[in-house]
Every structure is written in C-alpha cells, then in structure tokens.
Amino acid sequence: MKQMALFFSKTALASCMPLLLMAGWACNTSEKKAAKIAQASRDSAEACTPIKDPNNPKPMALMMRQMATNADSIRAGILMGIIPDSLKYPFLRFYLVEPTDPGVLEPQFFENARLYQQAYRSLMNTDKAEMINAYNATIAACINCHQRYCSGPLKRINKLPITGLP
C-alpha cells in the first residue's frame, strides 16, 4: 500500500513537473514583460511630461505664480471659514525682484505694489466677519495693477474673487 502511494506520488510529480516548469517559466516571462512595460511607460512618461514654462521665467513672474497659488489656497480656506494666517502665507516682496519687462519698474507700479501690500496686511489681520471683503479687496488690487502692466494673467486672477455668497 505504502509502495503504491509512493509510486503514485512519484508519477504525479513526474507528470506535473513539466507543468510546474512551464508555470515557472511563464511567471518569469510575464514578470519580465511587466517590468519591460513598466520601464517603457516610465520612459514615455519622462519623455512626454508636459512642460509648464520653457523660457527661464524671471523671479518676479515666479513669485507671482506663487502668489496666485497662495491666493487659491487662501480662497479655499476662507470658503471653509478659516481666517488666513500670515505665518502660512507671508507677504512676498515681489517688487524687489527682477521682472520680465524692466519697463514696468516705474512709480505707478510701486504705488500699486504699496496698495496691494496694504490690502494684504488688512487681509492677514481681518476677523471672520470681514475676511471675504478683505480677500476680495486684495484680489482687486491685483486686478487693478494687471490691467495696466500685464493683462495676460487676468484670465486667472478674474476667477479668484469670492462672489455670489449670501
């Protein structure tokens, strides 16, 4: 009986061996294939990653993009009832860094920057009741300056004010 069981188990093992080997080979192949696909998709993702700005933007442009990102975040916070915090959003002295167009550095630009800074300070010291007005006043200062100096970003800035709330 014992011999019979041993015989059967040996036979079963022998007959299964090719299958096991094939399964092992298949696993190995599919692993290699998966690795190849993953590598190819990584390569193509690297090759095709969209570019945001290929022109070495000037520091003022970069700073203003950061300001726009901050405004998005402040806006989202205000809509959830969170008063903006100057530690989280410190004032960026954009008027001290190099602009794309040096021609903008005229008295009116610095006056606009002063008005913006004033509005920003009020926003950072606002209470809950006034925060929407203070925020909108800050954005209005951005719009006012961009209408005169660089109208391209207005498409984005015009979406920032908080309107239509009761």
Applying CB under 8 A, which residues contact another protein?
47-55, 57, 61, 100-101, 147, 150-153, 155-156, 159
CB of 101 to another protein, least distance (A): 6
CB under 8 A, 24+ apart: contacts of 106-112: 108/148, 109/145, 109/149, 112/141, 112/144, 112/145, 112/148, 112/149
In terms of CB distance, is 114 or 159 closer to another protein?
159
Secondary structure (DSSP) of 53-80: --S---HHHHHHHHHHHHHHHHHHHHHT
In terms of CB distance, is 124 or 145 closer to another protein?
145
In terms of CB distance, is 51 or 165 closer to another protein?
51
CB of 77 to another protein, least distance (A): 20
Residue 147's nearest CA partner among 121, 108, 119, 117 is: 108
CB of 44 to another protein, least distance (A): 11
In terms of CB distance, is 61 or 141 closer to another protein?
61
CB of 60 to another protein, least distance (A): 11
Distances from the Cα of 70 to the Cα of 10, 66, 88, angstroms = 72, 6, 9
In terms of CB distance, is 83 or 97 closer to another protein?
97
CB of 23 to another protein, least distance (A): 38
Distances from the Cα of 148 to the Cα of 141, 153, 154, angstroms = 11, 12, 11
> What token pair was written down for 70?
């901050």
> What token pair was written down for 121?
């300070």
CA distance 135 to 120: 8
